[in-house]
């Protein structure tokens, strides 16, 4: 989204991923943050605790993830741009509240700086919450999910997410990981003004001059609940058309198509280079939004590919979405590491060769 | 001839609609008291109410103010979110004993500890009403419930929780009291205490909570009058009617 | 005369107004409301002192008006 020639961006500075999320949020109009400490995202609440008061905002540490997501619910209902951040087990605890946000048609921005799991797991980087992020919550609940792979994208996606959430009247999730959160990279901040927030005539902030508003997710009548679900789905579909993003690397003639997102996509860029050096026409498609998913484009590329290999930092989750997108056009293989490990270039190359070597 | 004097009409902040509560359930009269105080404080157009999950889940249909339906137990957290964004609003939660004292114990304790500037109306009828009479954290020793058919046994289910006394151990709260809906006299006392709990927010920017002993004739298996009489004769022995923490500087009302 | 007005469709027939009325003004009506419940009514309206105890205790806010006739001024001729 940013490049050297884009006048909307200022000079690059070296920024840590978790702090890029904070500055992106503040540019996006976020003035309220409620959250509970959990590694590896603690720099976010720490940063927000001093940064938000500087811009007239409020930071409050909740007593738990349950409380924090419901403070977000209240702040959003009152009309504010609000966010919370957590890491895998914490997101599990927030999941009920996120479903309530969806059903009550409330915007909010959520970040999962994913760690190794399941259970208490560890604090290393993982992508094992892909299924949780893209299929989250009880009830029919679509939710936009970003999968950034750089400090710049952490900034840009978070900044954009607030506008998108307001337009869709729905929560938006940024699915980062421990490596992205902790690493430092050059990042260009936005120097233009963020677009004005839309009016929120539905907000519950006192009924002066109008009929009382109700923010609610209880619909005892089946048809009423179905109407809400269809409306939520319709808004998600419209927002999806605007926000669907993916990136391609040497896919024009790719016979071996790698699909990876986030940190594992960074490793796969090197894998593509190594395969090309060895004479294999390899390319990489990197989903930037994980929901909506670049299914159509993956299907197109599968027409020319002889094989697709999905690389993830888990035991195979996004591979299911890729298989649906490929829809039998060619074989789809998976390789990955789990438990907080990042697959190395050599491991990926070995896996590709062991499964079935692609002729150059 | 002089016109008749109107002694009573329902408050403007209460919707003119049929409430779904069982015959003799005191939720309705408690709603009326809360709405009267909102009227009397002149804050109807700046009030945001938070409903629980429980019998009062539909309270958003009964108050003529902005209302939010919260997840089970989380009303104090939702209220905190609203209040931190709109400090000019008067924010109250209306919660039962399952909602506040069981699943939502964490949220109420920490909202009180922060002296969050919200008002909490805590309805204690000793039973999960909406889900059909299961044992609540406030069910009395020996009291039967659909999940405690032999009556609550301390050695198995433990002891009922005295919420106000527990919160009174905290430095934070501005106003804490317990009242009862057992008779007209005690209903009037409840209103005075509720007004204090709202004034804790509007005049002292602090946390105010009233635990209101209420009846559940349906799941207690009593007539409405028997239920009120049992509150007077028995329930108050365990849950004393008292103002545990008065408003500062004697700015308080009550018996 | 002092009087109360019962919104009979809101009345749930719980009889708490009858139990607490200090002057025994109220009784259950023979008729049914929309939900098949017997609502409360003023059986002996002449006894009513307009104290609003019934409205205070009514759990369903079904008593929607209580009126008290003005006090007669001393010395006013009738």
Q: State the CATH number of the domain containing residue A232.
A: 3.40.50.970
**Residue B250, pLDDT score:** 62
How far does CA C15 lie from the centroid of its chain? 11
A332: its two tokens = 């789809």
> Which of C16, C50, C57 is opposite residue B7, by nearest beta carbon?
C50
Its domain, for residue A21, covers 13-243
pLDDT score of A360 more than 70: no
**End of a domain among A226, A243, A260?**
A243
Continuous segment of H or E residues that includes residue A103: helix A88-103
**Residue A143, pLDDT score:** 96
**Residue A195, pLDDT score:** 87
Query: What is the C-alpha separation between C9 and C48, in angstroms, rounded?
Result: 22
- β-strand partners of A334: A310
Decide: helix, strand or coil at residue A112: strand
Whether residue C73 is contained in a domain is answered as no
Query: What is the C-alpha separation between B215 and B97, in angstroms, rounded?
Result: 12
Residue from A61, A105, A212 whose CB has the most chain B CBs within 10 Å, to mutate? A212
| C and A interact (at least 3 Cβ pairs within 8 A) | no
Torsion, Cα A13 A16 A17 A22, to 10 degrees, reads -80
Our CA-based measurement puts residue A298 at a distance from the nearest CA of chain B, in whole angstroms, of 39
Total domain count, chain C:
1
**Residue A301, pLDDT score:** 98
Residue in chain B lying closest to C68 (CA): B5
Identify whether the C-beta of residue A81 lies closer than 8 Å to the C-beta of residue A162. yes
Decide: helix, strand or coil at residue A187: strand
Average pLDDT rounded to a whole number, residues A132-155: 96
> Which of B58, B81, B109 is opposite residue A71, by nearest beta carbon?
B81
For chain B, list the contacting chains (3+ Cβ pairs, <8 Å). Answer: A, C
Its domain, for residue B36, covers 27-248
Residue partners of A46: CB distance under 8 A and separation at least 6? none
**End of a domain among A223, A243, A263?**
A243
Same domain for A151 and A120? yes
pLDDT score of C62 more than 60: yes
Torsion, Cα B17 B21 B22 B27, to 10 degrees, reads -120
Chain C residues whose CB is inside 8 A of the B21 CB are 12, 59-60
How far does CA B231 lie from the centroid of its chain? 16
- Residue that is written with structure tokens 């804490």 in the block: B176
Total domain count, chain A:
2
Express each pLDDT in A47-56 by its tens digit: 999 999 999 9
If pLDDT is split at 50, 70 and 90, which confidence band does A356 have?
low
B249: its two tokens = 């500087």
CB atoms within 10 A of CB A279: 10
Residue numbers in chain B where pLDDT is lower than 50 = 255
Whether residue B84 is contained in a domain is answered as yes
Total domain count, chain B:
1
Decide: helix, strand or coil at residue B163: helix
**B81 reaches A (C-beta below 8 A):** yes
Express each pLDDT in B97-125 by its tens digit: 999 999 999 999 999 999 999 999 999 99
- Rounded to 5 degrees, φ, ψ at C28 are -80, 135
Residues in B 169-188 with any Cβ partner in A closer than 8 A: none
Q: What does pTM read for this prediction?
A: 0.96
Which ipTM did the prediction report?
0.96
- Domain of A262: which CATH number? 3.40.50.920
pLDDT score of A70 more than 70: yes
pLDDT score of A216 more than 70: yes
Whether cis (ω within 30° of 0) applies to the bond prior to B196 is no
Express each pLDDT in A227-246 by its tens digit: 999 999 999 999 999 999 99
Same domain for A255 and A194? no
- Domain of C20: which CATH number? 3.30.70.20
If pLDDT is split at 50, 70 and 90, which confidence band does C78 have?
very low
If pLDDT is split at 50, 70 and 90, which confidence band does A2 have?
very low
**Residue B174, pLDDT score:** 98
Burial of A138 (0-12, 13-18, 19+ CB in 10 A): exposed
Whether residue B35 is contained in a domain is answered as yes
Whether residue A6 is contained in a domain is answered as no
């Amino acid at each position: 989204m940013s490049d050297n020639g884009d006048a909307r961006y200022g000079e690059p500075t070296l920024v840590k991923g978790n702090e890029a999320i904070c500055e992106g949020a503040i540019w996006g109009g976020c003035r309220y943050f409620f959250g509970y400490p959990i590694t590896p995202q603690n720099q976010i609440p720490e940063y927000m605790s001093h940064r938000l008061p500087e811009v007239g905002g409020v930071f409050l540490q909740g007593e738990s993830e349950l409380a924090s997501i419901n403070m977000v619910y209240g702040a959003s209902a009152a009309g504010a741009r609000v966010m919370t951040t957590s890491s895998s087990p914490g997101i599990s605890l927030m999941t009920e509240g996120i479903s309530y946000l969806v059903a009550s048609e409330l915007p909010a921005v959520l970040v999962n700086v994913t760690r190794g799991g399941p259970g208490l797991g560890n604090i290393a980087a993982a992508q094992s919450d892909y299924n949780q992020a893209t299929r989250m919550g009880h009830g029919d609940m679509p939710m936009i999910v970003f999968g950034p792979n750089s400090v710049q994208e952490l900034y840009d996606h978070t900044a954009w997410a607030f506008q998108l959430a307001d337009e869709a009247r729905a929560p938006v999730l940024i699915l980062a990981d421990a490596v992205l959160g902790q690493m430092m990279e050059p990042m260009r901040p936005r120097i233009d003004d963020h677009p004005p927030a839309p009016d929120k005539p539905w907000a519950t902030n006192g009924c002066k001059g109008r009929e009382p508003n109700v923010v609610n997710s209880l619909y005892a009548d089946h048809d009423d609940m179905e109407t809400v679900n269809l409306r939520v789905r319709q808004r998600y579909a419209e927002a999806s058309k605007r926000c669907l993003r993916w990136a391609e690397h040497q896919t024009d003639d790719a016979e071996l198509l790698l699909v990876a997102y986030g940190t594992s996509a960074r490793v796969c860029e090197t894998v593509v280079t190594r395969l090309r050096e060895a004479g294999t026409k390899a390319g990489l498609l990197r989903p930037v939004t994980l929901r909506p998913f670049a299914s159509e484009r993956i299907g197109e590329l599968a027409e020319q590919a002889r094989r697709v290999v999905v690389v993830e930092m888990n035991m195979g989750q996004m591979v299911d979405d890729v298989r649906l997108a490929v829809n039998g056009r060619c074989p789809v293989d998976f390789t990955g590491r789990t438990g907080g490990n990042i697959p190395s270039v050599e491991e990926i190359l070995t896996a590709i060769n062991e499964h079935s070597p692609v002729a150059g | 001839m002089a016109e008749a004097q109107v002694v009573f009409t329902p408050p403007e902040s209460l919707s003119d609609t049929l409430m779904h509560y069982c015959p003799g359930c005191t939720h309705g009269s408690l709603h009326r008291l809360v709405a009267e105080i909102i009227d009397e404080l002149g804050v109807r157009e700046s009030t945001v109410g938070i409903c629980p999950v429980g019998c009062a889940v539909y309270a958003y249909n009964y108050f003529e103010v902005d209302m939010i339906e919260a997840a089970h137990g989380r009303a104090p957290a939702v209220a905190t979110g609203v209040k931190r964004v709109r400090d000019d609003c008067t924010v109250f939660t209306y919660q039962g004993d399952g909602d506040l004292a069981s699943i939502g114990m964490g949220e109420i304790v920490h909202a009180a500890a922060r002296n969050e500037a919200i008002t909490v109306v805590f309805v204690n009828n000793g039973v999960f009403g909406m889900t059909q009479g299961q044992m609540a954290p406030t069910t009395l020793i020996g009291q039967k419930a659909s999940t405690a058919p032999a009556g609550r046994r301390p050695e198995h289910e433990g002891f009922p929780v005295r919420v106000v006394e527990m919160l009174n151990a905290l430095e934070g709260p501005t106003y804490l009291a317990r009242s009862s809906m057992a008779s007209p006299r005690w209903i009037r006392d409840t209103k005075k205490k509720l007004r204090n709990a709202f004034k804790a927010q509007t005049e002292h920017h602090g946390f105010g909570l009233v635990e209101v002993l209420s009846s559940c004739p349906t799941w207690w298996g009593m007539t409405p009058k028997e239920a009120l009489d049992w509150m007077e004769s028995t329930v108050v022995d365990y849950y004393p009617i008292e103002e545990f923490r008065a408003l500062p500087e004697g700015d308080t009302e009550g018996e | 005369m002092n009087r109360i007005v019962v919104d009979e469709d809101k009345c749930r027939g719980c009889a708490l107004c009858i139990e607490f009325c200090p002057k025994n003004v109220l009784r259950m009506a023979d008729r049914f409301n929309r939900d098949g419940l017997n609502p409360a009514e003023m059986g002996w309206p002449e006894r009513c002192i307009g104290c609003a105890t019934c409205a205070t205790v009514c759990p369903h806010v079904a008593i929607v008006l209580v009126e008290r006739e003005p006090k007669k001024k001393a010395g006013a001729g009738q």
